[in-house]
Structure 1
Amino acid sequence: MRVLIVALVPSHLMSMVPVAWALRAAGHEVLVAGGAPVAERAAAAGLSAAVVSEPPGRRVRRSAAPSGLPGAGPDWTLLQERWRQRVDGVLDEHLDVARDWQPDLLLVDPIEFSGLIVAAALRVPAVVHRWGPDRISSQSIPRAVEALAEVAALRGVDGGPALPSMVLDPCPPSLQCTDAAAAQPVRFVPFNGAGTPPRWAQRPRSGRRLCVSFGGETPMLTQPAVWDALIRELAAVSDLESVVTAVPQDAGALPAAVRAPGQVPLDLFLGDCDALLHHGGAGTALTGLAFGVPQLIVAQPNPSWAAVGERIAARGAGVVLDLDAALRAESTAGLRAAVEEVLSAPGYRAAAEALADEIRRLPAPSAVVPLLTELAATPVGR
């Protein structure tokens, strides 16, 4: 069986890598299609890739929904127009790659809708692979199928984009959003890139350790005042070492209590941390939960990131933090107090460890390979 994986951005590919490895280990062929950064991440994971270029001047959007006020619904009219413009610009190359390679099945990023049109064009099943807590794709995919019908028809795909034949879900069921559509569970296996285990993470330590991971494109890395206040507050927490995974280019010297190891995959040291402070990325959150690490999640207007924080807080495995307010508040109500609470109150760790156990009990990626093989052998009608 040949499987074509399509992903919008590298972080979305990361969640699909363990399934790709399982497919390869079972003897199937796998090819990744996406922009140059996606292809680079695929190569780092040991996967072959074909580069699909973005139209000049058009920036890839990371989210299925625009930022807005917390709790506000997405502007679907605006989103549908964005989808039409972007997919129209990349679809021809996606179709060229797929027609040359002739896959039997597509594994699709929930917001790379080109994959649904490619699956329809080749009359093969499309399997959507979620990232984690999913507030968006159950609503966005049917709307995308409708919005992109004309874009598909212009390429001879008169039936429009395919609806997914299966949805794979690495999110533990008790953490999933209550309105997410039913899906096939698959165990989340942390993959954060390849690297060397840091020696400092293996040595005995007497104090507590906090991992701080804000990804590569979050506002915290572009606001010097926020960054400086964050580092100052973390350094003031007693008996705490903070490990920061990314530092702004113009950041000054870090305090002795703050470590910046550079590009070290989270899964190589997160199991040795007592808590995790992050932006709400699903991969970051599930990596932490796979190790039973309680979390502080920065409140976000982005619906996908906001869902991660809200669901982790609802399960008792962490807290959602208004970072700006916490940095302005007195220590009794500010960031230091929130960090101390998550580090000290045993309920957060217990809830995170319960979720880790739930993750371990989900079907391994190797267990879903026979399901995908069976699906690929089933005729797809149009």
Structure 2
Amino acid sequence: MRVLFVTVPLASHVYPSVSLAHALQSAGHEVRLASKPGVEDLITGCGLHAVTVGIPADEDHLHEGQVPIDALALDPQDDESWRSVRRYLTPRIVSANFRAEDGRGRGGVVEDLVAYCRGWRPDLVLWDPAFPAAAIAARASGAEHGRLLWALDTVGHIRHRTREELGEGAALERDPLVAAMLPALERYGVDFGEDLLLGRWSLDPVPPGAQLPAPGHTYHPMRIVPYTGSAVEPEWLRTPPARPRVCLTYGASVRGYAPRFATVPLPVLMEAFAGMDIEVVATLNDEEIAEAGPIPANVRTVDYVPFTQLLPTCSAIVYQGGDGTFGCAAPQSLPQLINLSPKWGELAVAQYVESRGAGLVVDREGATAESVRDQLHRILTEPAFRKGAEEVCREITAMPTPHAVVPLLEELAKGPVRPSA
């Protein structure tokens, strides 16, 4: 069969597709990955065929700096946080998916995706939850389609709460995301259905204890097999560390602003590391190194090293709570110290890690170098944290691998395609 992945043009969104795409290719299926211009080399570097649609991402007004970071943080324990997330998420999705031609002869995303799907005729379209234009293209071309989640189902939760708020029988136009879709639906003769926002089903990498499912929607579990790029293994990684090795990272997608919005700034972290009997590997770029201040002797800074090389050699990880980094650290049974940079699902990750006894969250009120040092010392020396991390690892590794999910996708792609109610 032919399978089209459609994703946001960021490494942190492309990478979660890679293992499943390779599994499908290994099973003999044809695979393409579509995104906006600018990530073609990233996609082809992952061993996949790239398709470009729409206008470059730097022209669709989706820069992180345009909104307060904490306004995008969904807190499953806060019954009102979804409203704030909806307020900022909806115009971002609308801008990325439903802008018209730019006046210079370049088509919009929906137009390009429909044209490609009608030409290539995929049997299955797997799409990023922030890319509902792909669902319209799938429907317009008769393909089966579902979402490939990479984190908590924020979009599904917001749609569920919005429908509750609007009430049964509310006009479609009252949801601004649906209203933005309607011209494209009319143009291509597609009737509105919930599948255009949520997929006919979703592949869900979130462990059962951390999910936030939309009621009535079908979720198929799939374990994330981490892919974080490739590189020549550095020589220093070949020798086992003489002291406990700790990874400090802010992930791939939040570089440039996460250190400034984290609970504890980099200089305080460096002060906390100084004098500890540990080796820290900090994945920091030049800008972050400049912000960090004096680098202690026991801290090695590297701009990039694949987590699949680094984390198996570590005893713990300090990070901002990002879903992608969590998905890399958890299968290694690493105790975690989460220095929150609240955005998207970080709060949910932190709550899950703490609930499983797999780590600690830096106190957002009054954290100091000394308190961070004490927390890091605890997760390195108290056996309960390793035990909790091993439990998290067991929960994740019990989920089906991408290879195990391929037969399910083959069956789903055979079924009749109908609009969802």
- TM-score interval w.r.t. the shorter chain? 0.7 to 0.9
SS at match of 2:82: coil
User: Residues 104 and 283 of structure 1: is their aligned pair in 2 closer, same or farther, counting only changes over 3 Å?
Assistant: same
Task: Give the aligned length.
Answer: 376
Equivalents in 2 of 1:370, 1:107: separation in Å?
15
User: What is the RMSD of the two structures over their aligned residues, measured on CA atoms?
Assistant: 2.9
- The residue number in structure 1 matching 2:244 is 208
1:88–1:151 CA contact under 8 A, matched in 2: no
User: Residues 135 and 315 of structure 1: is their aligned pair in 2 closer, same or farther, counting only changes over 3 Å?
Assistant: farther
2:210–2:352 CA contact under 8 A, matched in 1: yes
Shift of 1:3: 0.7
User: Residues 324 and 259 of structure 1: is their aligned pair in 2 closer, same or farther, counting only changes over 3 Å?
Assistant: farther
Equivalents in 2 of 1:341, 1:91: separation in Å?
51
User: Residues 147 and 302 of structure 1: is their aligned pair in 2 closer, same or farther, counting only changes over 3 Å?
Assistant: farther
- The residue number in structure 2 matching 1:269 is 310
User: Residues 37 and 350 of structure 1: is their aligned pair in 2 closer, same or farther, counting only changes over 3 Å?
Assistant: farther
Question: After superposition, what is the alpha-carbon deviation per residue over 1:32-80, rounded to whole angstroms, capped at 9, x for unaligned?
Answer: 1112344332212100111223366324367999632764223335543
1:149–1:158 CA contact under 8 A, matched in 2: no
Shift of 1:256: 1.9
Question: Tell me, which stretches of 5 or more residues in structure 1 are unaligned?
Answer: none
User: Residues 178 and 65 of structure 1: is their aligned pair in 2 closer, same or farther, counting only changes over 3 Å?
Assistant: farther
Select 1:241's aligned residue among 275, 279, 301. Answer: 279
User: Residues 283 and 33 of structure 1: is their aligned pair in 2 closer, same or farther, counting only changes over 3 Å?
Assistant: same
2:157–2:214 CA contact under 8 A, matched in 1: no
- The residue number in structure 2 matching 1:257 is 298
- The residue number in structure 2 matching 1:365 is 402
Question: After superposition, what is the alpha-carbon deviation per residue over 1:237-284, rounded to whole angstroms, capped at 9, x for unaligned?
Answer: x21111111234362663321112322111112011111111121110
- The residue number in structure 2 matching 1:106 is 125
- The residue number in structure 1 matching 2:167 is none
SS at match of 2:51: strand
- The residue number in structure 1 matching 2:415 is 378
Equivalents in 1 of 2:231, 2:57: separation in Å?
32
Shift of 1:82: 3.6
Equivalents in 2 of 1:140, 1:152: separation in Å?
22
2:5–2:126 CA contact under 8 A, matched in 1: yes
2:247–2:317 CA contact under 8 A, matched in 1: yes
1:294–1:342 CA contact under 8 A, matched in 2: yes
Equivalents in 2 of 1:190, 1:59: separation in Å?
29
User: Residues 221 and 79 of structure 1: is their aligned pair in 2 closer, same or farther, counting only changes over 3 Å?
Assistant: closer
1:66–1:74 CA contact under 8 A, matched in 2: no
1:106–1:126 CA contact under 8 A, matched in 2: yes
Equivalents in 1 of 2:377, 2:212: separation in Å?
28
Equivalents in 2 of 1:243, 1:56: separation in Å?
32
Equivalents in 1 of 2:245, 2:61: separation in Å?
36
- The residue number in structure 2 matching 1:299 is 340
Shift of 1:156: 1.8
- The residue number in structure 2 matching 1:340 is 377
- The residue number in structure 1 matching 2:201 is 166
Of stretches 246-255 and 23-32 in structure 1, the one that deviates more from structure 2 is 246-255
1:207–1:240 CA contact under 8 A, matched in 2: yes
Corresponding letter in the other structure for 2:19: P
Equivalents in 2 of 1:170, 1:196: separation in Å?
28
- The residue number in structure 1 matching 2:12 is 11
User: Residues 155 and 258 of structure 1: is their aligned pair in 2 closer, same or farther, counting only changes over 3 Å?
Assistant: farther
Corresponding letter in the other structure for 2:56: E
- The residue number in structure 2 matching 1:83 is 93
User: Residues 294 and 59 of structure 1: is their aligned pair in 2 closer, same or farther, counting only changes over 3 Å?
Assistant: farther
Select 1:121's aligned residue among 140, 156, 171. Answer: 140
Select 2:62's aligned residue among 60, 63, 75. Answer: 60
Shift of 1:169: 1.5
Corresponding letter in the other structure for 1:36: P
Select 1:73's aligned residue among 53, 57, 82. Answer: 82
User: Residues 65 and 73 of structure 1: is their aligned pair in 2 closer, same or farther, counting only changes over 3 Å?
Assistant: farther
- The residue number in structure 2 matching 1:155 is 187
Question: After superposition, what is the alpha-carbon deviation per residue over 1:179-199, rounded to whole angstroms, capped at 9, x for unaligned?
Answer: 785521112211111112233
Equivalents in 2 of 1:151, 1:140: separation in Å?
22
2:110–2:133 CA contact under 8 A, matched in 1: yes
1:106–1:115 CA contact under 8 A, matched in 2: yes
Corresponding letter in the other structure for 1:102: R
1:188–1:290 CA contact under 8 A, matched in 2: no
Corresponding letter in the other structure for 1:126: H
- The residue number in structure 2 matching 1:195 is 231
Question: Tell me, which stretches of 5 or more residues in structure 2 are unaligned?
Answer: 100-108, 163-174
Of stretches 279-288 and 218-227 in structure 1, the one that deviates more from structure 2 is 218-227
Kindly, what percent of the aligned residue pairs are identical? 30
